[in-house]
Amino acid sequence: MKKRSTLFLYVMLAIPIGLMMIPTVIVLAVAMVPTGVAFIMERGKGYYGGLTVGAMNLAGASPYLADLWTQGHTVAVALGIITNVFAWMMFYGAALFGWAIYSTTPAAVSAFMTMTAGQRITGMRAQQKELVMKWGPDVESVYEPPGAAAAAAAAAQEHATAEPMAPKR
């Protein structure tokens, strides 16, 4: 019930503020559509897509918001901005760039982590060779998780006790 009352409070505060800033609301309503779509598409996945697209989308809208605020903050100026084709290109181009960042970042991070893991493996193998040279071949072993040897032994025992198939006649 508390969540509902908090939402009601936010709506009651947002309506008068929105009415006082109607030109800004007009521009943002047009400019931030890709952000709304991103949040709808990312339902239940942490909203990272919505946050990335939203940040870039707001960055694309900010020069036009600054123009709106410096040129009088009227509905006529807001309508002039939203009817400008270049403004739309900036709004949606910045959102597209946000989508590009969101979609390429996991692959870049994965490639980086693979590269660093490979370097760590190479370094550890070099350390292992040094230890073998220093302490002898007795320190060299291959790690097997606990239970792997027991499972292999049980499989070998089961195979050995199985009855041979009868010959076909």
Dist CA 97 CA 103 (whole Å): 10
| Cβ neighbour number for residue 31 with a 10 Å cutoff | 25
Closest CA to 91 of 133, 32, 50: 32
pLDDT, residue 136, reads 81
Q: How confident is the model at residue 145 (pLDDT cuts 50, 70, 90)?
A: low
- Rounded to two decimals, what is the model's pTM? 0.63
Q: How confident is the model at residue 93 (pLDDT cuts 50, 70, 90)?
A: very high
Dist CA 93 CA 86 (whole Å): 10
